[in-house]
Homo-oligomer: A and B are copies of this chain.
């Protein structure tokens, strides 16, 4: 009998990436469709199903798809719905995503969660967290997401929305405004946008010389490039970012005593600048019993495939 396969779908605000994946994490066929050209979910799902059937045919996987895993903003594992997702044109209200897609795909079961939880399952199935039963995945991208694994299972909580560590308080009083409406959130400091914001603030508040002064707009990539060239201000920005991450990681460790914290996402590429300050702040802020014991590791998934792999991993648990 031919080997079982799964489909992974990463639903982003602009595009949706889909792939047919085998048990080893090889993407056998993949494609991308637009997410943002639909105002309602039904035509989007119809187009998505068509795309899936295309890659299933391409991978010669007809009849072998065991399940479909979906990572989507505000995806709820318990209900299979996407709720109030501001970045999805058709996702402002409650969308019965898993049900609608399964119906279009001849009843193949569909499992759905948010992107960070999907990344955690992906890392546990194919990546840096293989064999780990207790770890915390932190995604450092435009925002800061998290997927918490305890006893080998993603924590969804009472309502399906657990794991919003990007919105725990990094700065308790007078912190930066965050996109969520609160202030001082970890995400406001340690996301890619947070790093760019730190750069803009520090350039304005100090006279420190920096190659960043010559730029019109500053992105976290610019700060990274400057740090690579030895720019002192850029290096300090990563030190500051790493310190805040490490301080919060200490709190997270005291919550669930993970074996490791796994970092993923665009900003995690700056590991040569982040690892030391993170580790230092983690050790300085955690109870002695965990000092030096919790690993800090980086995603091992090929970045171009990671989103598909993470989502696909969900489907193995169906």
Give the distance in Å from the alpha carbon of A258 to the alpha carbon of B164 in the complex: 12
Task: Decide: B257 and A167 in contact? CB cutoff 8 A.
Answer: no
Residues in chain B near residue A168, CB distance under 8 A: 250-251, 254-255
Q: Contacts A164-B287, A180-B287, A288-B181 hold; do A257 and B172 have CB atoms under 8 A apart?
A: no
Task: Decide: A157 and B258 in contact? CB cutoff 8 A.
Answer: yes
- A132-171 contact mask (Cβ, 8 Å, vs B): 1 or 0: 0110000000000000101101011111111111011101
Any chain B CB within 8 A of the CB of A40? no
Name which residue of chain B comes closest to A163, CB basis: B255
Residues in chain B near residue A255, CB distance under 8 A: 148, 155, 162-165, 168, 252, 255-256
Task: Decide: B254 and A159 in contact? CB cutoff 8 A.
Answer: no
Count of A residues near B, CB < 8 Å? Answer: 42
Task: Decide: A257 and B159 in contact? CB cutoff 8 A.
Answer: yes
Q: Contacts A247-B169, A251-B169, A254-B168 hold; do A289 and B161 have CB atoms under 8 A apart?
A: yes
Task: Decide: A257 and B182 in contact? CB cutoff 8 A.
Answer: no
Task: Decide: A157 and B169 in contact? CB cutoff 8 A.
Answer: no
Instruction: Show 14 residue pairs from A and B whose CB-CB distance is below 8 angstroms, ordered by the A residue.
Output: A84-B289, A148-B256, A150-B150, A151-B153, A156-B257, A161-B257, A164-B257, A165-B254, A167-B254, A168-B251, A168-B254, A168-B255, A169-B247, A182-B287
Give the distance in Å from the alpha carbon of A158 to the alpha carbon of B149 in the complex: 11
Residues A197-211 near B (CB distance < 8 A) = none
Name which residue of chain B comes closest to A166, CB basis: B254
Chain A residues in contact with chain B, CB under 8 A?
84, 133-134, 148, 150-151, 153, 155-165, 167-169, 171-172, 180-182, 247, 250-252, 254-259, 285, 287-290, 293
Task: Decide: B155 and A256 in contact? CB cutoff 8 A.
Answer: yes
Task: Decide: B158 and A257 in contact? CB cutoff 8 A.
Answer: yes
Give the distance in Å from the alpha carbon of A171 to the alpha carbon of B285 in the complex: 12
Residues in chain B near residue A150, CB distance under 8 A: 150, 155, 157
Residues in chain B near residue A162, CB distance under 8 A: 255-257
Task: Decide: B256 and A182 in contact? CB cutoff 8 A.
Answer: no
Task: Decide: A288 and B180 in contact? CB cutoff 8 A.
Answer: yes
Task: Decide: A258 and B134 in contact? CB cutoff 8 A.
Answer: no
Residues in chain B near residue A182, CB distance under 8 A: 285, 287
Q: How many whole Å from A152's CB to the nearest CB in chain B?
A: 11
Give the distance in Å from the alpha carbon of A265 to the alpha carbon of B198 in the complex: 42
Give the distance in Å from the alpha carbon of A256 to the alpha carbon of B136 in the complex: 12
| Closest A-B pairs by Cβ, 10 of them | A157-B257, A162-B257, A158-B259, A134-B158, A168-B251, A164-B254, A162-B256, A168-B254, A167-B287, A157-B256
